[in-house]
Chain A
């Protein structure tokens, strides 16, 4: 009842306004649906819809007729689309060849590319030369370094060869030599780290122990 009342007041209100194109759609869109929480109407509780009767003869007839119709229309559509595509492609290629001046473009581009290629090759040759020189310089430096290292190694080897090493022949002699060495560890070190060797320390006796 409340819903009905609302509808009537709205319609009344709308009727007082002069109906224009902007208001009219509002009238059409006003629909009063059953809210979701409201149960099914009592009168419709056990209502079951009867399916629409189908004439079997007509159904069979229409079935193949519709299929036939759809096939035909689809075939025509595809055929036309293919024809249009072909035509467009042909026109486009013609356009590029003639209107756009394809030959002129190709000619100019080739000229430009040729000029650029000449310049580039010249530059690249120069760059290659510089690179080659650089490489040669590096190789030269490497060689010199190698030679220097070799000579240094040879010098070192010669120096080492001059040294007297302990062999089986002079082993006893060397042992004797070492045994003969007298070491004196009784030395003192002053504050600046100088080692004062000899028995000088023994001469200076601390005063405390003199007594």
Chain B
């Protein structure tokens, strides 16, 4: 008898262990407060490239395409991937039937055409595409046709991205400055109280895609009644909010607060890796218009020390020269020989001598303390550059001043910024000739031209390796490495994954 009981108990324990903790079904209802880094400058994602605008507005507005969990383009408002003509210049996009806007009207090709034209006219990324667009026209009620001058493979990625986004809005609301925030997204705007909250509520008429959720794509479930984005500009206050469990989700926490957040009421969420800090060089004007000196900078900088100063523990960064980390399809080591984790002061000095550097012209590094890690990296870089023989002038300004000054090539030689890893390389800032840094060269034009016109995904991967080689050969920017991002969520909030632009459809609250 005793043995039987023991066997029964053992079996029961084993079953519990194999099964793991019981996972409850998603629950409908509840409100989640999301602490963000501040008040969005606008709720119109066409007119801004700010990540915060994308994070909030992606719940209200949708694009024809989006990205799946592997960062591949996947349909959202489009019914399927586009039909592309053999020469890659004509895209026919079927639209999903039954999609309605928050005002109850049905989405048709007229709305899509008007929205895309607005995007080409006022969106920063739309303008990048516009030069190559011949026409956008309806092809029936539920299809649009985009005709290009020449093949442009990144088009669907541009149509999928969520900042400076090609959102679809009713043709009747199509103004340069949006006054009505009506989209097709799972949540709709109820109230915006600046510096207090942006209140989104469930859109009852939402037409979700069928199937399972898949990254930003797939089905979008509306479990939550409301999502409120609450601006908390002070980073310490966000940390205290996470420790106290005040919010459902807290975005953009300082990475060094990991241990403190872990000891608090919320659960820390690390996005590893999140992005890459970069030193953009002014290739148009000033001392760094000289390629030899840019190569000397590339040799002089010691990314490992810079990242250690910026992020502390190796748990929070990776010393990696590839423009994309290992998990991405775009990862390649092509050209990364020039990336020296410890720097190479002797090689930098030799390059500097060869380029006849004039020490009376200091390298002006433009940075700010808006992001403390930028400043910390600048301090370390300054010492390594001095050791190589450069004169260095650190111009520390606040963020708004930096954003303005970097537009003037006469005012800086290097400016420091960072970016999340973007799903498509063509979206990277300095890939555009017009981006501050103004990198243009025959080698760039040839490499990027081939990359952008190739429509075969496998061939594009190889062509991207060629682009990365040119980036290292011409040093328009110095990629310091990879770094992680920290957020925190309530233990009750489920269905939220760490993401560069966190989203809360598919999220629910446990009781």
* A, B co-complexed: no
Q: Which residues of B contact A (CB under 8 A)?
A: none
Q: Which residues of A contact B (CB under 8 A)?
A: none
